[in-house]
Amino acid sequence: MGTVLGFDFGLARIGVAVGETETGHAHPLAVIADEANAVRFAAIEQLLAEWKPAALVVGLPTHLDGSEHAMTARCRRFANQLHGRYGLPVTLVDERLSSVEAEERLRDAGHQNWRKQKPRLDSAAAQIILLQYFESARHAPS
């Protein structure tokens, strides 16, 4: 399938990661740190032009029990906007605890004061969302 971009959507920032379906590897890529939609989508367009992904993945936040909350609807809307604007397939991936895992990975890598490096946390969370996507695709029935 090729290159995939993953997004950890937030109101203040959007973490972005890039991965390859063939290898199942993903890497933090960027953080879009603007609340204006025009600026956000301009940055996304630049990433799409550079990486030419075959698909997009958006993390879908829910409560720990799987029930939806306010951000769930916003992320669905963001995913729909991506699909509508760019015509690429967009997959929603359960992102429960992705930020917690990203925080642990950053701490394990020696980034003790991750709060000062919040953007790094957002792109690391996007990486984890992509890895979850690749993992679920590997275990999907053929």
CB 40 within 8 A of CB 14: yes
Instruction: Set out the domains of the chain in order of their start, with CATH numbers.
Output: 3-138 (3.30.420.140)
**Whole-structure pTM over 0.75, yes or no?**
yes
Q: Which two tokens stand for residue 85?
A: 């604007």
pLDDT single digits (tens) 101-138: 556 665 665 555 555 566 677 888 899 999 999 988 87
Instruction: Look at residue 97 and tell me whether its pLDDT is greater than 70.
Output: no
Cα distances (angstroms) measured from residue 94 to each of 38, 40, 51, 126, 130: 26, 22, 24, 12, 10
**CB-based contacts of 5, cutoff 8 Å, min separation 6:** 16, 17, 18, 29, 47, 48, 51, 53, 56, 57
Give the Cα separation of 19 and 11 in Å (integer): 24
pLDDT single digits (tens) 4-26: 999 999 999 999 999 999 999 99
Q: Report CA 32 to chain centroid distance, whole Å.
A: 11
Q: How buried is 92 (Cβ within 10 angstroms: 0-12 exposed, 13-18 middle, 19+ buried)?
A: middle
Q: Across residues 50-54, what is the average pLDDT? A: 98
Cβ count within 10 A of residue 69: 10
